[in-house]
Amino acid sequence: MKVLVAVKRVVDYNVKVRAKADGSNVDLNNVKMAINPFCEIAVEEAVRLKEAGTATEVIAVSVGDKSCQEQIRTALALGADRGIQVETDGPVEPLVVAKLLKAVVDKEQPQLVILGKQSIDGDNNQTGQMLGALAKMPQGTFASEISVDGDKLNVTREVDGGLQTVSLSLPAIVTTDLRLNEPRYASLPNIMKAKKKQLDVYSPADLGVAVTSHLTQVKVEPPAERKAGIKVADVAQLVDKLKNEAKVI
């Protein structure tokens, strides 16, 4: 079966992002960019399905300006077969991303779409579910284990109380949680090979999707700062402070 994997270009997870002083936006000047960690897990899972003989082709798709081709190439280096970029001017809202992905799904007819559960920039946790609703597909979100069983997909999900397993009719959507797998590193030969893999570029108009905006970012600001407190000398002093100063025990 064909597997479609969505990847997003985001600020590297080690970077501590700050608001600009004028509050107009976050400061992303000269910041290291990377593939969203959850998307990397999605690519790894798709590649493992191919290595296991379950998947026949893995297609990596990203929505964004030209720079996101870098993250598509990363996915190709990790083992995806070909790439698709939907070119937009800068970031678009999750609902629009979902509509663009729906159009790609209609074109490619994958049996499985794997996405990260959230991107670590917007922390929205929406796109996979929205795509599920638009494509009328079932979803296994926050997945920690998946297995294909004929025309069904079993997904074990990380939920508030523990783990839940659901059975989905294919085609289906999966969004990845942290423990689904541990992504591999791309080898140098594979990075070189990835440069020659097919990468198609579409515009939203090619896909018949209007890029709309429902939300306006009015301003950004730093969160209320916590001040570092004091170091206590020993356990006795700690218990005393908690009882008599903070009065929390």
Partner 1 sequence: MSTLVIAEHDNSSLKVATLNAVAAAQAMGAGIDILVAGASCGGAAEQAAKVAGVGKVLVADNAAYEHQLAENISLLIAELGAAYDNIVAPATTNCKNTMPRVAALLDVAQISEIISVESADTFKRPIYAGNVIATVQSSDAKKVITVRTTAFDAAPADGGSASVEAVSAVHDAGISSFVSQEVAVSDRPELTSAKIVISGGRGMQNGENFKLLDGIADKLGAAIGASRAAVDAGFVPNDYQVGQTGKIVAPDLYIAVGISGAIQHLAGMKDSKVIVAINKDEDAPIFQVADYGLVADLFVALPELEAKL
Which residues within the stretch 33-72 sit at the binding site for partner 1 (CB under 8 A)? Answer: 38
Q: Which is nearer to partner 1, 195 or 243 (CB)?
A: 243
Residue with token string 């992002």: 17
Q: How far is the CB of 62 from partner 1 (least distance, A)?
A: 19
State both tokens at 134.
């638009």
Residues 133, 138, 143, 148, CA torsion sign: negative
CA 64 to chain centre: 14
Q: Can you tell me which of 1, 26, 199, 211 binds partner 1, judged by CB under 8 A? A: 26
- Interacting span for partner 1 (CB under 8 A) from 67-75, 164-172, 183-191, 192-200: 164-172
Q: Can you tell me which of 52, 163, 192, 201 binds partner 1, judged by CB under 8 A? A: 163
Q: Can you tell me which of 94, 110, 183, 204 binds partner 1, judged by CB under 8 A? A: 94
Q: Which is nearer to partner 1, 77 or 130 (CB)?
A: 130
Which residues 6+ apart lie within 8 Å of 160 measured at CB?
A: none
Q: Can you tell me which of 178, 195, 198, 203 binds partner 1, judged by CB under 8 A? A: 178
- List C-alpha distances in Å: 32 to 26, 119, 127: 14, 15, 24
Q: Which is nearer to partner 1, 53 or 161 (CB)?
A: 161
Q: Please state, in angstroms and rounded to a whole number, the distance separating the CA atoms of residues 71 and 85.
A: 10
Q: Can you tell me which of 93, 103, 183, 194 binds partner 1, judged by CB under 8 A? A: 93
Q: How far is the CB of 198 from partner 1 (least distance, A)?
A: 30
Render the burial of 194-205: b for 16+ CB within 10 Å, e for the rest: beebebeebebe
Q: Please state, in angstroms and rounded to a whole number, the distance separating the CA atoms of residues 21 and 204.
A: 34
Q: Can you tell me which of 8, 9, 48, 117 binds partner 1, judged by CB under 8 A? A: 117
Which residues 6+ apart lie within 8 Å of 54 measured at CB?
A: 1, 148
Q: Can you tell me which of 52, 133, 192, 201 binds partner 1, judged by CB under 8 A? A: 133
Give the 3-state secondary structure of residue 176: strand
Residue type, 139: Q
Q: Which is nearer to partner 1, 53 or 229 (CB)?
A: 229
Q: Does 31 bind partner 1 (CB under 8 A)?
A: no
Applying the rule CB under 8 A, the residues between 207 and 246 that interact with partner 1 are: 213-223, 226, 228-232, 234-236, 238-239, 241-242, 246
Q: Can you tell me which of 11, 46, 72, 84 binds partner 1, judged by CB under 8 A? A: 11
Q: Please state, in angstroms and rounded to a whole number, the distance separating the CA atoms of residues 10 and 19.
A: 16
Residue with token string 């049996």: 111
Backbone φ and ψ for 151, nearest 5 degrees, come out as -95, 15
Q: How far is the CB of 178 from partner 1 (least distance, A)?
A: 6
